[in-house]
Amino acid sequence: MEIKSVGIIGAGQMGVGIAQVAAQSGYDVVLFDQSSDAVKKAFGRIEKSLARLVEKEAITADAAHDAQARLTPAASVSELSQCDLVIEAATESEDVKKAIFKSVCEHLKPEALLASNTSSISITRLAAATDRPGKFIGLHFMNPVPIMKLVEIIRGIATEPETYELAVNFARSLGKTTANSEDFPAFIVNRILIPMINEAIYTLYEGVGTVEAIDTGMRLGTNHPMGPLELADFIGLDTVLAVMNVLYEGLSDSKYRPCPLLVKYVEAGWVGRKVGRGFYDYRGEKPVPTR
């Protein structure tokens, strides 16, 4: 089997990034979201992103035009029926993802591969909710997808060797480096990263340091490009909490208990940059700490 066309379900930050890099790499891409407005906005974001790459002379104007020409909006999941690979990039909720797979599987051709961009949920469990567990795999892209070089590859118990080989070759064809992870809660990157962010939130919660002190300390003390609280806002506090809950429930270890302050911020709807407020307020000219 050869992958030529790719379907993306979810027109959020991750879905948009995956769609862009796939189109730039020569794949025909069909993008679907339950919100047609989200798809329309996604195409605008991709156009702006490609224009910036042209300005920086990272790609030619012709390459940008060709990439845009390979992108097609879908009004229904049925329009993904001829895709060779379909990648789900929806919110980090197991119920939401399973509902998506149930709705799309009936439309896919028998040989089509199905992948999830989940950052924490069991690939084996998600695969079991489909009609093709052998052709199901985890493809965890990093955010922002056009810039970050890594894709985690996660096999479920039922994933067939051919599915794995095709997935690895696909990720590498996008110019990405792959890292294989076993199917454990949060895989490799988030198993390490998200508890660190949670610990930074505990450090704030317990009054050890301010938002500014914690982020400055980690940027300058460990040479991280972003402080952990700034990074949490970038990822989305709702996603951070979802991953911590997967770790806490999946591993039954108290060290993965989500910080109560993280829970409160999510309850308040202050989930980071995407809404204008998180550990920083982004509504002014310059981000300002909210605590």
Pairing of strands 136-141, 150-155: antiparallel
Dihedral angle sign, alpha carbons of residues 166, 117, 229, 242: negative
116 labelled catalytic? no
Catalytic residue among 140, 181, 198, 230: 140
152 labelled catalytic? yes
6 Cβ contact partners less than 8 Å away, ≥ 6 residues apart: 19, 22, 27, 28, 29, 30, 83, 84, 85, 86, 87
Other CB atoms within 10 Å distance of the CB of residue 192: 10
Whose tokens are 């906005």? That residue is 41
Start-end of H helices in the chain: 13-24, 36-55, 61-69, 94-105, 123-128, 161-173, 189-205, 211-222, 228-235, 237-251, 260-268
Other CB atoms within 10 Å distance of the CB of residue 180: 12
Catalytic residue among 5, 116, 122, 190: 190
Catalytic residue among 152, 181, 198, 230: 152
Residue 106 CA to residue 110 CA, distance in Å, equals 9
266 contacts 198 by C-beta, under 8 angstroms: no
For residue 139, the cross-strand partners are: 153
Catalytic residue among 119, 120, 181, 198: 119
140 labelled catalytic? yes
Q: Which residues are catalytic?
A: 119, 140, 152, 190
